[in-house]
């Protein structure tokens, strides 16, 4: 994963925290691809896998946008921050819209699970 980031100037990443619905993962991959996201990162456990359903919903984006599943999402987020990647998350209680944010530098957007949102530790990172 980190080798991939070395090849991209100002990468935009999407981090999905326990998104379990295959249709939602497919839609996230499709949207990420359209937005120029360098990679989509998700935990290996308690998340949707890259299945035929996901690939169908993604309409080709699953083959075009790297989908990286990691063992420890919090540790990966720490390592991304150490590499100068700004991490921000989506939250219902947010006071600022994503559309008001500057995403011109290297950054990652974290989106939480359906219903529960992102986990506490993920939100703290």
Tell whether the torsion through CA atoms of 61, 74, 3 and 84 is positive or negative. Answer: positive
Domain with residue 7: its CATH number is 3.40.1280.10
Looking up tokens 């998104």 gives 19
Task: Please give the Cα distance from 76 to 93 (Å, whole number).
Answer: 25
Residue 114 has pLDDT above 70, yes or no: no
Q: What is the pLDDT of residues 53-76, one digit of tens each?
A: 999 999 999 999 999 999 999 999
Element (H, E) at 111: strand 107-112
**pLDDT value at position 80?**
95
Average pLDDT value for the chain: 86
**pLDDT value at position 105?**
87
Q: What is the pLDDT of residues 34-58, one digit of tens each?
A: 999 999 999 999 999 999 999 999 9
**pLDDT value at position 42?**
96
Name the domain count of the chain: 1
What range does the domain containing 95 cover?
2-124
Tell whether the torsion through CA atoms of 17, 23, 26 and 28 is positive or negative. Answer: negative
Q: What is the pLDDT of residues 96-110, one digit of tens each?
A: 777 777 778 899 999
């Amino acid at each position: 994963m980190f080798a991939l980031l070395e090849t991209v100037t100002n990468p935009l990443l999407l981090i999905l925290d326990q998104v379990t619905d295959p249709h939602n993962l497919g839609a996230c991959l499709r949207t990420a691809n359209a937005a120029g996201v360098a990679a989509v990162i998700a935990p290996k456990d308690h998340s949707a896998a890259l299945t035929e359903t996901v690939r169908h919903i993604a309409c080709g984006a699953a083959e075009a946008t790297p989908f990286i599943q990691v063992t420890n999402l919090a540790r990966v987020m720490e390592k991304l921050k150490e590499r100068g990647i700004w991490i921000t998350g989506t939250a219902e209680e947010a006071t600022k819209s994503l559309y008001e944010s500057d995403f011109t530098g290297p950054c990652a957007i974290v989106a939480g699970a359906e219903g529960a949102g992102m986990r506490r530790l993920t939100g703290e990172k």
